[in-house]
Amino acid sequence: MITDVKKEKRDRRKAHIRLRVTGTPERPRLSVYKSLKHIYAQVVDDTTGATLAYASSLEGEVAGGKGKKEAAKKVGGIVAKRCRDKQIEKVVFDRNGFDYHGRVAAVAEGARAAGLKF
């Protein structure tokens, strides 16, 4: 029952954030989702609904790291590299209702370090 309440609260925060954060072709949205084991990041153009780039901690080049936070930083770097390959330099960061600390912040740090601008 507690997990249901936590999910409802995150969904409310997510909806509030999404009212202001939308992705355009010039500046798509970098959306981050974290589960208990893994982290996922995707760059989305909301006008067409297309995913432009994607990375997760399930990929082979990320697996085998020291911890979840290090894997999250690698995921940020990989998604930024894939964005640069598609000439995407600026994005809008969508934390998806999660607090901006820990693994979510590590994805942002990794993406910024790889050259993506928020």
Whether the predicted pLDDT of 55 surpasses 90: yes
Res. 64: pLDDT tops 80: no
Q: Which residue has the higher pLDDT, 2 or 69?
A: 69
CA quadruple 90, 96, 81, 26: dihedral, nearest 10: -30
Mean pLDDT of 49-55: 95
This model's pTM is above 0.95? no
According to the model, what pLDDT value does residue 40 have? 97
Which pLDDT belongs to residue 116? 95
Rounded Cα gap, residues 58 and 35, in angstroms? 12
Please give the domain boundaries of the chain with CATH numbers for all domains. 2-113 (3.30.420.100)
